[in-house]
């Protein structure tokens, strides 16, 4: 029960990797609050997690800053503080560079970058008080320049950029911040496989471990480790949890 009496806020927790994280944290004793735009899946996940631990789902559209602030205030009203923040939610569209418009940037930055930035700022006083931790999500697609991912790659690399700056500035407050780049069999990836089966097969074939990760076992548990006391001396790092696809130098 590594996270006994600790409250962790996770975005995009209704499904995919976010749900894997919520589940892994719940199994290790955390109180979990999570945001998602998908109400049906959010309620179903909340019910499932409530069997394990105290859990709170708040329907939030992360593209709407007022909604995000109201959601954050609900979590603080209910649990009084948070000890950890995981910015996992993201939406994007696959479009060639030449066909990319500001609309795709609005979606990628609106669901990924801006909520990450705003939630980091809103969480700061609580994390400072609790010497807490942040885990943000980026992607090998940004690091490697995967085709059709212009706006997504930009949003993900922007998330890595602000994570490293905050890791430097907030180190004196004993807040550590790391970035996970996963590959896992989420709903989002399943939908992508249907749209682009050849790209999916190529990706799996190029993974040294020849499989996608499991959202809870392979990603959620690693996120739990980076939120834990054991990882408190690690900050500002990008961690590839991708079966060996990208090897950082
Ligand atoms: N799955 C992978 O292989 C992979 C690879 C690289 C990076 N990532 C990153 O990992 C994270 C999780 O990915 P995933 O595959 O589980 O994604 P997913 O698409 O399966 O799930 C994303 C979740 O975010 C929620 N969401 C979307 N828009 C929202 C909004 N406006 N407001 C609130 N919630 C919203 C969705 O409802 C969903 O529950 C993302 O940051 C993604 O970019 C995933």
For 77-123, the pLDDT digits (tens) are 999 999 999 999 999 999 999 999 999 999 999 999 999 999 999 99
Q: What is the pLDDT of residues 12-68, one digit of tens each?
A: 999 999 999 999 999 999 999 999 999 999 999 999 999 999 999 999 999 999 999
Q: Distance (Å, rounded) from C-alpha 118 to C-alpha 130?
A: 19
Q: Given a cut of 90, is residue 188 above it in pLDDT?
A: no
Q: Distance (Å, rounded) from C-alpha 113 to C-alpha 108?
A: 7
Domain 7-241 has CATH 3.40.50.150: no
Q: Given a cut of 90, is residue 192 above it in pLDDT?
A: no
Nearest CA to ligand 1 atom 13: 17
pLDDT of residue 201: 93
pLDDT of residue 105: 98
Mean per-residue pLDDT for 65-77?
98
pLDDT of residue 174: 98
Q: Is 152 a catalytic residue?
A: yes
Domain residue limits, the chain: 7-241
Please, is 207 exposed, middle or buried when counting C-beta atoms within 10 Å of its C-beta (0-12, 13-18, 19+)? middle
Question: What is the average pLDDT value for the chain, to the nearest integer?
Answer: 97
208 falls in which pLDDT band (50, 70, 90)?
A: very high
Q: In what order do the strands lie in the sheet with 133-137?
A: 55-59, 31-36, 7-11, 84-87, 133-137, 176-182, 238-241
Distance from the alpha carbon of residue 151 to the mean position of ligand 1, in angstroms: 15
How many angstroms separate the first and last alpha carbons of the chain?
A: 35
pLDDT of residue 199: 87
225 falls in which pLDDT band (50, 70, 90)?
A: very high
Mean per-residue pLDDT for 134-152?
97
pLDDT of residue 196: 87
pLDDT more than 70, % of the chain: 100
Mean per-residue pLDDT for 196-220?
95
Which residues, including other chains, have CB under 8 Å from residue 19's CB and lie 6 or more apart?
13, 45, 215, 216
Q: Which of 79, 124, 152, 226 is catalytic?
A: 152
Distance from the alpha carbon of residue 12 to the mean position of ligand 1, in angstroms: 6
Block residue for tokens 């407050």: 173
């Amino acid at each position: 029960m590594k996270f006994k009496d600790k409250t962790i806020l996770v975005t995009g927790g209704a499904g995919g990797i976010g749900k894997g994280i919520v589940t892994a944290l719940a199994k290790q004793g955390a109180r979990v609050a999570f945001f998602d735009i998908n109400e049906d899946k959010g309620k179903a996940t909340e019910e499932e997690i409530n069997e394990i631990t105290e859990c709170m789902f708040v329907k939030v559209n992360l593209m709407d800053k007022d909604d995000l602030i109201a959601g954050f205030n609900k979590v603080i009203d209910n649990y009084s503080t948070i000890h950890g923040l995981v910015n996992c939610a993201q939406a994007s569209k696959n479009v060639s560079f030449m066909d990319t418009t500001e609309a795709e940037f609005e979606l990628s930055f609106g669901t990924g970058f801006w909520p990450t930035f705003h939630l980091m700022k809103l969480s700061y006083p609580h994390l400072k008080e609790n010497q807490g931790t942040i885990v943000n999500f980026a992607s090998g697609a940004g690091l490697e320049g995967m085709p059709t991912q212009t706006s997504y790659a930009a949003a993900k690399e922007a998330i890595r950029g602000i994570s490293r700056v905050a890791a430097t500035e907030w180190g004196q407050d004993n807040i550590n911040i790391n970035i996970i780049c996963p590959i896992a069999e989420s709903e989002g990836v399943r939908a992508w496989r249907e749209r682009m089966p050849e790209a999916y097969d190529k990706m799996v074939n190029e993974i040294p471990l020849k499989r996608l990760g499991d959202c809870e076992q392979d990603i959620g548990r690693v996120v739990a480790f980076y939120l834990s006391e054991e990882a408190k001396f690690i900050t500002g790092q990008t961690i590839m949890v991708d079966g060996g696809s990208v090897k950082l130098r």
